């Protein structure tokens, strides 16, 4: 018999099998239009055999409709139901992608935690004698008893000073870099600085382990700086020259009393006007590897000018013991007339190694065994 269900016909048959007598087989039959149904022949069906029909597998849908492909199913639905079905399919795909990403992240995190735990357990189980050399080098600041050494006083003082003040050094970063490159190569060394200023803690910190001495013309300024930076080694120096005497003093470049004796004390005894007198004992205690000329004042006619400081720097380099290498001399503010002329006259263009901005770097060899050698020898 035929039974009409909604818009489809279902053929109900009963299989001839003694073990499955209670099962019914529903076979869907496509329906035709009512007005044209009579023009079509009744479909014929092959009689069922005594064999039990094969049961659908798990991959197949026993209802008939869901077992078909998605395009076929969409064509059998109304437009509204088709859109809903497509929306559900898209949401299902997004959900699967999101869950897959979550699972991947969880797996990666679990692997990382596992490796980290294994490494920690391995490190804790190793004996102190089996630790790597990198771990030993990491504690390079530690003493023999295993305790860490303190931060050097000049470095700590410079860090606190520049972190708590709005003042900056007179030299630019590029100009400081000229001296910094030499200090990185030669420190710890003996560093003589003409002038005590806002950059003094920096120079002392960059020459950590060496000796840095500052010579200053203003006694009250020395007291002020010492109250804030008691670790700086500074001394008072008196200059007996005036900036207005620059033209007269530069003529002493070829004076025998200023060039015959490379020793500065001998030049002072020879009545060389450029030689500084009354220098502290610390000045004569060591040979200076680096000399920085950034003082005294020299921007007003009554100021002492830097003529004597530049001459002294040249004499320090000339009097250096042979075999100890050359002396690095730095002169700042070479954009001014006195610093420009006197650095070329007494430190010599032939020894000029570098100029950046307003600072010049000279590398001057020893002339100790060549008394009377001019400041700028021909050979």
202 or 67: which carries more pLDDT confidence?
202
99 or 131: which carries more pLDDT confidence?
99
Least confident of 98-102, 276-280, 339-343: 98-102
Least confident of 64-78, 110-124, 217-231, 310-324: 64-78
The reported pLDDT for the residue numbered 163 is 80
Q: What is the widest separation between alpha-carbon atoms in the chain?
A: 143
Q: Which residues, 6 or more positions from 161, have their beta carbon under 8 angstroms from its beta carbon?
A: 201, 228, 229
Mean pLDDT of 307-317: 95
Q: What is the CA angle 216-222-228, rounded to 5?
A: 135
* C-alpha–C-alpha distance, residues 218 and 162, integer Å: 23
Mean pLDDT of 118-143: 46
Cα dist. 365→32, 80, 84, 221, 324 in Å? 115, 97, 92, 34, 9
Least confident of 4-18, 149-163, 328-342: 4-18
Given a cut of 90, whether residue 195 has pLDDT beyond it is yes
Show the tokens assigned to 7. Answer: 């818009």
Name the DSSP class of 148: B
The reported pLDDT for the residue numbered 1 is 43
Mean pLDDT of 87-99: 69
Span 222-279, pLDDT tens digits: 999 999 999 999 999 999 999 999 999 999 988 888 886 656 666 666 678 898 988 9
Least confident of 67-76, 103-112, 323-332: 67-76
Mean pLDDT of 170-187: 95
The reported pLDDT for the residue numbered 158 is 82
Residue ranges of alpha helices (H) inside the chain are 70-75, 79-125, 133-138, 153-163, 173-186, 200-206, 219-228, 246-250, 256-259, 264-269, 281-285, 307-318, 337-343
* C-alpha–C-alpha distance, residues 316 and 291, integer Å: 9
Q: What is the DSSP string of 226-269?
A: HHH-TTSEEEE------GGGHHHHHGGGG-HHHHS--SHHHHHH
Mean pLDDT of 96-122: 65
Mean pLDDT of 99-124: 64
The reported pLDDT for the residue numbered 368 is 85
Neighbours of 232 (CB within 10 A): 20
The reported pLDDT for the residue numbered 223 is 96
* C-alpha–C-alpha distance, residues 287 and 317, integer Å: 9
Four-point Cα dihedral 33, 38, 40, 45, nearest 10: 100
Q: Specify whether the CB–CB gap between 48 and 16 falls below 8 A.
A: yes
* C-alpha–C-alpha distance, residues 284 and 14, integer Å: 125
Bridge partners (DSSP) listed for residue 5? 8
Given a cut of 80, whether residue 60 has pLDDT beyond it is no
Q: What is the CA angle 228-201-203, rounded to 5?
A: 160
Using alpha carbons, select from 188, 203, 198 the residue that is nearest to residue 221: 198
Selection from 141-145, 154-158, 285-289 with the highest mean pLDDT: 285-289
Share above pLDDT 70 across residues of the chain, in percent, rounded to a whole number: 60
Least confident of 90-99, 148-157, 243-252, 341-350: 90-99
Given a cut of 50, whether residue 144 has pLDDT beyond it is no
- Secondary structure (3-state) at 185: helix
Using alpha carbons, select from 164, 231, 246 the residue that is nearest to residue 200: 231
Show the tokens assigned to 164. Answer: 């708590």
The reported pLDDT for the residue numbered 186 is 96
Grade residue 2 by pLDDT with cuts at 50, 70 and 90. very low
The reported pLDDT for the residue numbered 135 is 38
pTM: predicted TM-score of the whole model, two decimal places = 0.61
φ/ψ of 355, rounded to 5, equals: -140, 125
Q: Up-side HSE of residue 297: CA atoms within 13 Å toward CB?
A: 9
């Amino acid at each position: 018999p035929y039974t009409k269900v909604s818009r489809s016909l279902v053929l109900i048959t009963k299989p001839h099998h003694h073990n499955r007598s209670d099962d019914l087989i529903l076979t869907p039959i496509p329906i035709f239009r009512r007005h044209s149904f009579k023009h079509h022949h009744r479909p014929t069906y092959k009689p069922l055999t005594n064999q039990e029909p094969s049961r659908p597998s798990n991959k197949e849908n026993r209802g008939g409709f869901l077992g078909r492909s998605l395009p076929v199913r969409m064509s059998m639905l109304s437009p509204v139901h088709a859109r809903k079905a497509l929306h559900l399919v898209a949401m299902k795909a997004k959900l699967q992608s999101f869950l897959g990403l979550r699972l991947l992240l969880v797996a990666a995190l679990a692997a990382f935690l596992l490796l980290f735990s294994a490494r920690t357990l391995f490190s804790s189980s190793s004996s102190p004698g089996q630790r790597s050399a990198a771990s030993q080098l990491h504690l390079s600041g530690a003493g023999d008893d295993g305790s860490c050494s303190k931060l050097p006083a000049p470095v700590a003082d410079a860090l606190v000073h520049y972190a708590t003040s709005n003042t900056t050094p007179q030299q630019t970063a590029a100009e400081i870099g000229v001296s910094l490159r030499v200090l990185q190569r030669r420190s710890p060394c003996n560093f003589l600085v003409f002038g005590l200023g806002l950059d003094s803690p920096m120079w002392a910190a960059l020459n950590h382990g060496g000796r840095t001495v500052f010579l200053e013309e203003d006694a009250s300024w020395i007291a002020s700086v010492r109250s804030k930076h008691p670790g700086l080694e500074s001394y008072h120096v008196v200059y007996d020259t005036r900036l207005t005497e620059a033209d007269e003093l530069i003529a002493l470049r070829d004076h025998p009393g200023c060039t015959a004796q490379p020793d500065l004390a001998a030049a002072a005894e020879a009545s060389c006007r450029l030689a500084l007198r009354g220098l502290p004992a610390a000045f004569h205690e060591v040979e200076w590897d680096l000399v920085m000329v950034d003082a005294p004042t020299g921007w007003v006619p009554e100021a002492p000018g830097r003529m004597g400081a530049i001459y002294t720097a040249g004499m320090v380099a000339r009097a250096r013991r042979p075999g100890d290498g050359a002396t690095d001399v730095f002169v700042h503010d070479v954009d001014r007339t006195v610093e420009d002329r006197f650095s070329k006259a007494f430190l010599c263009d032939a020894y000029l190694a570098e100029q950046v901005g307003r600072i010049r770097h000279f590398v001057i060899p020893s002339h100790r065994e060549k008394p009377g050698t001019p400041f700028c020898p021909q050979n």
